[in-house]
Amino acid sequence: MRKLILAGLLFYSLSVFGHCLFGQSNKGAVTNDSDRTWALESGLTLEEIHRLRKLVGVENEADGYIDSIDSKTFKSRHHILVVTAGGNGHCLDLYVFAQRGAEFRRAWAAEEKGYCRESPKNPESFATEDGKIVVKIPVYDYNRQADRATDFYTYTWNGRTYKYVGKKTVK
């Protein structure tokens, strides 16, 4: 009886922790859960989320993660805003995809533009109702241990692409 219990515990341990013992990762499962959440929130299908993930180069958690997907704000243009965050969310990359049926084509991107954390709060990006893309970066004064300001970087649609229109700092 004792051998049977030990064998059962060993089997359970290997099934639960086997991915660690044999160099495998469960990151795909985390990504699938994340993809299901994005599909529910965005109204896109799970397959469309998988394709977008591949297009932005975030196929597993080691590559970063999807910070936000907005498939509604630019719907009249057939555009989808996808924001990715590298590592632990300190820096953002922005992508807009044109959707034609089941196909996605990159319409615009702001990659490695330095939209990185400047405070204990992570940066964020979002689309506005008037058709702009905004990157919001809280700025912190570490010497005084206080919020200093918030920087807003804005892109607007010019009929062909999203064009950078400037930075505004709000104290």
**What is the pTM (predicted TM-score) of this model?**
0.81
Total structural domains in the chain?
Answer: 1
Pair 69, 84: CB distance under 8 Å: no
Res 86: pLDDT: 84
**pLDDT 10s digits, 78-123:** 999 999 998 677 899 999 999 999 899 999 999 999 999 999 999 9
Indicate the range of 8-12, 42-46, 149-153, 157-161 predicted with least confidence: 8-12
Structural domain for 45, as ranges: 2-170
- Band of pLDDT at residue 32, cut at 50, 70 and 90: confident
**pLDDT 10s digits, 112-147:** 999 999 999 999 999 999 999 999 999 999 999 999
